[in-house]
Amino acid sequence: MGCLSVSAQEFKPGFYGVANGGKSTITLGTSKIEGNGYQLGAGYEFTKNLAAELTYGSALGFGLTSGSNSVKYDMSVMHISAIAKLPVSESFIPYVSFGRVTGTESLSATGSSTYSAAYSGGRYVYGVGVEIPFESRISFRVQSVTTTSSSTTSSKISMVTGGFIFRF
């Protein structure tokens, strides 16, 4: 299966689905915890250079244990982003994204009270990535996405993921 010539096909605006998975790093103050995360979403391509995307991302069950002390962090977010694509060649399409985040996070520690919060504003998501088309309806995607820090927990999440785009 070879890469499809992007310039050889006529662009058609439309909807697409996204499925990504990969490594996540959560920064809590000065501590970093690594684990796995995923993103599922849908988008709409207005032009070959501009799209909008609504994505659900999750980083669940991150834990840190030291002796008898433990900390657990869970985060689920929904973000809406604008995607600007800058095709370099027919089979290599870099892009940048920027958007707003809403979601929940919880932090609990042994011997401490549990913190839980919902936030609906004040957090942003930004990223860079590359899309590699294989067929007219399927592309591979690699991206790095960061959600800005929470003023309440000083938490920040970064994800490096790979996945697929399926056009309808």
Please say whether the beta carbons of 92 and 130 come within 8 A.
yes
Q: Indicate the SS3 state at residue 136.
A: coil
Q: Answer whether residue 145 shows pLDDT above 60.
A: yes
**Which of 142, 133, 144 minimizes the C-alpha distance to 167?**
133
pLDDT tens figures, 18-68: 999 998 887 766 777 777 888 899 999 999 999 999 999 887 656 666 556
Residue-range domain boundaries for the chain: 14-104+114-142+158-167
pLDDT of residue 11: 74
Please say whether the beta carbons of 35 and 26 come within 8 A.
yes
Q: Mean pLDDT score of the chain, rounded to an integer?
A: 80
- Classify 90 in phi/psi space as left (phi over 0), alpha (psi -120 to 50) or beta: alpha
Q: What would the CATH number be for the domain defined by 14-104+114-142+158-167?
A: 2.40.160.20
| Strands 69-85 and 93-109, bridge-based pairing | antiparallel
